[in-house]
Structure 1
Amino acid sequence: MKTMYGIQILYSKTHQALQYALSLTYKTQEETFKLLPSFGYMLEQQNPDTMIDLQCDEDGKIFYFFMSLGASLIGFRRCIRPVIAVDDTDLKGRFRGTMFVITAQDGNK
């Protein structure tokens, strides 16, 4: 800003402005998690053979979400190499948990 417009702005003010602009553009994390059931339903409707499983705890918070696109399931059935790699990563931030990713390699790598 100083170079382009000759204005000096504190980093904290810039960060606050960015966060405000993002809040106007995108939904909060809580709002997007509430959309997950409808997202899963639309995936099942638009992608044949897609599997979705969503489980919530007593408070209605998402405890478990499984998604496998139909095209991926068909591809797994036709894998030449019977090797499936499983990896996980810890989710950080306000919503903690673990995300598992499972992949396989086809004949074209």
Structure 2
Amino acid sequence: MKRVGDGLGIFCKDKVISSAYVPNHLVADVKKAYGRTITYRQAWIGCNRGVEHSRGSSEDSYQYLVGYSHMLEKHNPGTFTRIESDDGDVFKYYFMAIGVCLEGFKTYARPAFAVDGTHLTGEHQGMLLSAVGFDGNENIFPFAFGIVDSENNDACAWFMGELYNALGEDYCTNPDLLIITDRSIPLTNAIEEKFNNA
């Protein structure tokens, strides 16, 4: 099955770039090109292999994170990124705040922001944490994001520490600063530890 999937992946690698190309299209293309019928499962595996052939695997993409972060910081002044890995040099946490978003938030938004997380589903699970402010029109203004393994004390403390570093001490020690959260215990603990004036 692996060789069939690899062969089908090579056959369809230029087509799967479009999200409109689904396994049923591959079944029809193989029938038209070779007069052979393949199962939907074979086509599904082939489409996944095609994505890997054209874009690389999701596991391989972690090795590009350092270079991606470097380019973000180089071409977007004020951008703040951090990568945390464990002792075995395996990805653990990621933090990103784009410079113009940080500057826009600190300069034009009121000193209040919300922090929350959502579960990442799929092959690689974890949590996406985000910090969002509110602009003058009461619209949401996202300015910082983090990917962590779960909403636990260590991950939330790390995220809030990096958020503190990104915003700067002058901003974070403002006595008028308001931080909104869903009252999750790890986030609340991290806010009390890192933003003790808020």
Normalised by the size of structure 1, how large is the TM-score?
Answer: 0.83
- Which 5+ residue runs of structure 1 have no aligned equivalent? none
- Specify which of 119, 143, 149 is matched with residue 90 of structure 1: 119
Of 30, 42, 65, the match for 2:94: 65
Corresponding residue to 1:20 among 35, 45, 49: 49
Does structure 1 retain, via aligned residues, the 8 Å contact 2:109–2:133?
no
Alpha-carbon shift at residue 101 of structure 1 (Å)? 1.5
Q: Over aligned residue pairs, what C-alpha RMSD do you find?
A: 2.2
User: Looking at CA atoms only, which structure, 1 or 2, has the larger radius of gyration?
Assistant: 2
Deviates more, 1:13-22 or 1:51-60: 13-22
Tell me which protein shows more helix as a share of its residues.
Answer: 2
1:49 is displaced (CA, Å) by: 0.6
What pairs up with 1:15-54 in 2 under 5 angstroms? Answer: 15-54=44-83
Contact 1:86 1:100 (C-alpha < 8 Å) held by counterparts = yes
1:85 deviation in Å? 2.4
State whether residues 43 and 50 of structure 1, in contact with CA within 8 Å, keep that contact through their aligned partners in structure 2: yes
Q: Which runs of 4+ in 1 moved over 6 A?
A: none
3-state SS of 2:82 partner: strand
Quote the residue 2:136 is aligned against: 107
Structure 2 length as normaliser, TM-score? 0.48
Deviation at 1:8, TM superposition (A): 5.6
Residue 25 of structure 1 aligns to which amino acid in structure 2? S
Q: Which amino acid aligns with 2:71?
A: M
Pairwise CA distance, 1:27: 1.1
Q: Contact 2:69 / 2:81 at 8 angstroms: preserved in 1?
A: yes
Higher strand share: 1
